[in-house]
Chain A
């Protein structure tokens, strides 16, 4: 007997993006891919409901970019309005805990602010939900268990089963987002809920500066023929000197990482 597939409640967390060249506010690419995946899921599992959630400041630039998501075909977006510099995690966690959706989809990292990519993990920790990163597709949702495809490097996929509710993050492996249409974006509504602002004290102490290009280890290929060069280019990066630590204490692990960073010249010797 084939179990009944039911519609799912999906919440997509979206952020205000930043264009890599001009720095203009826009719909963030990964979040838009997350929404695209959710909309595709809505199509695949009839009866699914997709809702949009954003916590942050409401101003002209952020409204324009949030409407970019609405132009993909949604009628409302829930905006948890906060003051500048407030921490989005408690507000989002509270909102999600109050009416838990089955799936929370979001981009792997934001295009502005810290952009640390830690928000989904922090949310998962607070809510006690499992988290799957690098989502490529949601295959089925049956009896509270979702079968997912996780994207791995070089086009590999891993099939996972995860108990709902769960948080899923998407990166560039997810389907490209559809075009945002001006008309629906303009008509859609922002449901603004002011929330208690919990200032992000940690962030307030940081000094923000434009990123510098990171040094990149050169891969020197000594190949005589085109075939060798191709093989070298297509081959998996071979760690070789990699080391798997098992059954060690946190201190020992940290020590090993610290040592490696020193060796690599990331930290001053």
Chain B
């Protein structure tokens, strides 16, 4: 009897899944067009899945193995099942393989069940709690119906009641695993996720066979020339279709939630919930069905949306509250952790763009900062002619006088900040000690546009960027060195779309190079233990984890690493305009970071970013001092051995004069 029912069941399930797929695709196609190479994307899918996605999943070894067993077993079992039971190819070899595949999947599902017994808070519950049972139903059902195929059991074993029960189990398995894949259910992640990998909006973020880890972190520019382009995202259908597809791929594993600094601080943001809200928006409905951690302080079930309705209401509530979007520090920890390669930060900035450019509603000091950027080219509203006042005694070489140098030193807006001026002075001392041929733009420099862009003011960003690019195009230099990772990121990764292509280096990278070339010599480190805080815009945005550690090592410092360091570094709270907006939470993000520092027992935390310095130094009763790498290097400078530095005595006096 099963022999007649099974093909019907299997093909009915496949047909239903195909209908569901069509409906799901229609939902995604509500988004704006975004051209992607379809065939090339599909061809790249296996590599993106097996290499890039697995690279992220494998950070959790147990879960990674569980997923390999379950998903690998399922894919093999499903294909073989269609051949053996669907098309009736009752070949004993295929049957044996099918038994092996379903057994493998069953073992995997046992581990899934174990994780679901007492799930961590970051995991969503709801329908996800039934997934291990569904996995078992499918694997066990397929295993049992295959036993007669390979001749282990006679074809007519058991009564018709047993056959019916078995058929019911198989129906359950098929419903969850095949039909549910496209009709919405936990398995939706497999269907949407595979297509999301193939049609990702940032194909360049994936590694390639030729080598290169693949990184794509710059925000995409708005086309302001074309007045028909929406200014950011107002409704879910204003996202591009592949962004919507990406949201739909979310597996609700909550890795983003676990690393989000705003969530940890009790600010009303949870990246996982945000992505789920976008899914609610794309399908239409309320967020009442969401079964994970809510936005801190915001109960679930009060928000609703539809594909063509506003995401943020001008008055009252819609899908998401504005303060949720403004809580983000754009630290990219969520994107770094997401096994489905979802781009949370892109989505948040897209929605912020609408709030700023259309609503004119940048909260906190945002509007004031943007007005200052427009009127004075710096966020503080300082006289642009006073950008070099801190260096009045340093006699800094100007680009305007030289026209051509090796290194253009980009000062950043830290030039107006008295704390950062100490870092800049230290950096100048180091550059002079190493006899670097450098110059500064001086008053010709403007804000890079980082804050404006992350506050959603794309117009001001592009205005600043275009004027900076025009200034830079007048001069010749090998590379730009800056002690501000935000400027580094914007100049290096975001100006290229507007026509500015530069080799940009963080000062730590440059100092490491100078040291390796024997152009700097340091006295041995005499201080206490030191830890290093990775700035988000240096590490996750630009992949520079090594150089700062290399410099600290050269100084004779052994870094006592924090638990969250490197690509998992916790944000200082200073990015994305978050300190300007200042959404209240239960804790402060920099306080949590200084606690991380305290746990290492370090007496000093080395940083490489003016924002991090300001945020971490603002912590009351901190257990550690905050020093920029440039300051540590400048303090340790000694004259190079005579052979390497013929003009040693002259150098030394210059270096002393600087500080």
Tell me the A residues contacting B by CB distance below 8 Å: 19, 21-22, 24, 26, 71-73, 178-184, 186-187
B4 to chain A minimum Cβ distance, whole angstroms, is 63
Interface centre among A21, A180, A183, A184 (most CB of B within 10 A): A183
B383 touches A182 (CB 8 A): no
Contact A182 B457 (CB under 8 A): yes
User: Would you call the interface of chain A mostly helix, strand, loop, or mixed?
Assistant: loop
Determine whether the beta carbon of B357 is less than 8 Å from that of A183.
yes
Q: Is the interface of B mostly helix, strand, loop or mixed?
A: helix
Known: A19-B376, A71-B360, A182-B358. 4 other contacts (CB 8 A): A21-B384, A26-B374, A179-B366, A181-B360
With an 8 A cutoff between CB atoms, is B356 at the interface? yes
Q: Report the nearest A residue to B354, measured CB to CB.
A: A183
Task: Count how many pairs of residues, one from A and one from B, have CB atoms less than 8 Å apart in the complex.
Answer: 50
Q: Taking the complex as formed, is B630 at the interface, i.e. its CB lies under 8 A from any CB of chain A?
A: no
Whether a CB of chain A sits under 8 angstroms from the CB of B167 is no
How many B residues are at the interface, by size bracket?
A: 20 to 34
For B362, the closest partner residue in chain A by CB is A179
Residues of A within 8 A of B359 (CB): 181
Determine if B227 and A22 form an interchain contact, defined as CB atoms under 8 angstroms apart: no
Which residues 113-141 of B have a CB within 8 angstroms of A?
none
Please give the distance in Å from B356's CB to the nearest CB on chain A: 7
| Contact indicator A180/B360 (Cβ below 8 Å) | yes
**Contact indicator A183/B376 (Cβ below 8 Å):** no
**Nearest chain A CB to B381 CB, angstrom units:** 7
Considering residues A26, A71, A180, A181, which has the most beta carbons from chain B within 10 angstroms of its beta carbon?
A181
Q: Which residue of A lies closest to B230 (CB)?
A: A183
Please determine whether A182 and B375 come into contact, CB atoms closer than 8 angstroms.
no
Q: Which residue of B231, B376, B382 is within 8 Å of A182 (Cβ)? A: B231
Residues of chain B contacted by A178 (CB below 8 angstroms): 360, 367
Q: Which residues of B contact A186 (CB under 8 A)?
A: 227
Q: Contact: A183 with B358, CB < 8 Å?
A: yes
* B370 at interface by CB-CB < 8 Å: yes
A179-B370, A182-B457 as given contacts; A22 in contact with B375, CB under 8 Å: yes
Q: What distance in Å separates the Cβ of B39 from its nearest Cβ neighbour in chain A?
A: 37
B555 within 8 A of A: no
Q: Which of B358, B362, B375, B459 contacts A26 (CB 8 A)?
A: B375
30 A-B pairs with CB atoms under 8 Å apart are A19-B375, A21-B375, A21-B376, A21-B381, A21-B382, A21-B384, A22-B383, A22-B384, A26-B374, A26-B375, A73-B360, A179-B356, A179-B362, A179-B366, A181-B356, A181-B357, A181-B358, A181-B359, A181-B360, A181-B361, A182-B356, A182-B360, A182-B457, A182-B459, A183-B231, A183-B357, A184-B358, A184-B360, A186-B227, A187-B227
Report A-chain residues with C-beta under 8 Å of the C-beta of B459: 182
Interchain CA distance A179-B460 in the complex, whole Å? 14
Contact between chains at B357 and A182 (CB < 8 Å): yes
Kindly identify which residue among A24, A26, A72, A187 contacts B360, using a CB–CB cutoff of 8 Å.
A72
Within the complex, the shortest CB–CB distance from A184 to chain B, in Å, comes to: 7
CA distance A145 to B361 in the complex (A): 34
Cβ distance B456 to chain A, nearest Cβ, rounded Å: 10
The winner among B360, B361, B370 for most chain A CB atoms within 10 A is: B360
Knowing A179-B362, A181-B360, A182-B357, the reply to whether A21 touches B383 (Cβ < 8 A) is yes
- What is the bound-complex CA distance between A187 and B356, given in angstroms? 15
